[in-house]
Amino acid sequence: MKKTVFTGAGVAIVTPFNKDLSVNYKKLEELIEYQIANKTDAIIICGTTGEASTLTDDEHKDVIRFAVEKTAGRIPVIAGTGSNDTAYAIELTRFAKEAGADAYLNVTPYYNKTTQLGLIRHFTAIADAVDLPCILYNVPGRTGMTIKPETYKELSMHPNIVATKEASGNVADIVHIRSLCGDDLDIYSGEDGLITPILSLGAKGVISVLSNVIPRETHDICEKFFKGDTKASADLQIKYSKLIDALFIETNPIPVKAALNILGFDVGECRLPLCEMSPSNLETLKKALEII
C-alpha cells in the first residue's frame, strides 16, 4: 500500500500580493502560520488558487521554497508543478523535490490538451523523472481535459502516483475510480461543496479553497467524518454551503481573495486577467461571510 500524503483538509493557499502586485512574502508567512494554528492538515502552494499561471518562473520557485522553509515540516507541503509542457513540468517538479516539498500536484495539460494515452505518457514521464509522491489534478472545467477512470487505473500502478484531486464534480466517476484503483490511489475532493459526500466514498480529505477563510471548520468537516460522526460532518457541510457558493460566484481565486481582504488579511488583488468582483457579487459574498 502506498503512503498517504495527508488526511483531512489541505488548503489551496492564495498567493498574497503587495500593491505593486509583487509577491508579499511577509503576508504569505502570516497566512501559513494562521493555517497551521487553525488545524489545516497540509499546504498546497502554487496551485490554481495561488495564481500559479501568472507567477514568473523565478517567483513560482521562490514561493515553493519559501512555503517549505516557513512550514518547516510541521505539516506537508504539496507544490503545484503542473504544466501543459511535460519537460517544464519535470523541471518544476525536480525543483520542488530539491526545495523539500513533500509531494507535488500535477494538473492535466491545458490548451494543447491530449488523448488519454497522452495523459498516461505525460504523467508517467514526470513520475519516472522525479522520485516524489504525485497527486494528479483533474479539473476539466479549467483544462478541457478529463482523466477517465480507466486512465486512472493505469496511472495508479506507478509507485510515485499516489493520489488525485478530483474537481470534476462527477460523483459517479469517483465511485468508478474507487472500484478500479482501490488503495492504489487516494482521492481528495477538489470541490468544497462535496467534501462529506466524497469522504463517504473513501476519500482521504479535501484540497480546499474554503480553508483559506475557515480552516478550522473545514478541518472539522473531515475530522468529524473520520471519527464516525457523519451527521456532524454533514451538518457543517450544509451550514457553510452558502459561503462555499459565494466563494465560487466568480472565477477562483477572485472571491476568496476578496473574502480574505474583507476579513482583514490584506492579501492584495489578483493579477490580470483576473480582476475585481462585480459590486452585486461582492455584496453576496459579504452577506455569506456573516456566518463566520
Instruction: Assess contact for 173 and 162: CB atoms under 8 A.
Output: no
- Catalytic residue numbers, as ranges: 137, 165
Spatial CB neighbours of 42, under 8 Å, sequence gap ≥ 6: 5, 6, 8, 9, 10, 11, 75, 76, 77, 78, 102, 207
Does residue 245 carry a pLDDT above 80?
Answer: yes
| Answer CATH for 8-236 from 3.40.50.970, 3.30.1330.60, 3.20.20.70, 3.40.50.300 | 3.20.20.70
For residue range 253-282, list pLDDT tens digits in order.
999 999 999 999 999 999 999 999 999 999
Per-residue confidence band for 173, with pLDDT thresholds at 50, 70 and 90: very high
**The pLDDT value given to residue 178:** 97
**The pLDDT value given to residue 94:** 98
Mean pLDDT score of the chain, rounded to an integer? 97
Model pTM?
0.96
Q: How far apart are CA 41 and CA 248, in angstroms?
A: 22
The domain spans of the chain are 8-236
Does residue 100 carry a pLDDT above 80?
Answer: yes
For residue range 192-226, list pLDDT tens digits in order.
999 999 999 999 999 999 999 999 999 999 999 99
- The residue with cell 459590486 is 279
Per-residue confidence band for 41, with pLDDT thresholds at 50, 70 and 90: very high
Q: How far apart are CA 208 and CA 2, in angstroms?
A: 23
Does residue 29 carry a pLDDT above 80?
Answer: yes
For residue range 59-73, list pLDDT tens digits in order.
999 999 999 999 999
Which residue has better confidence, 1 or 137? 137
Per-residue confidence band for 171, with pLDDT thresholds at 50, 70 and 90: very high
Q: Give the distance from CA 131 to its chain's centroid.
A: 21
Per-residue confidence band for 6, with pLDDT thresholds at 50, 70 and 90: very high
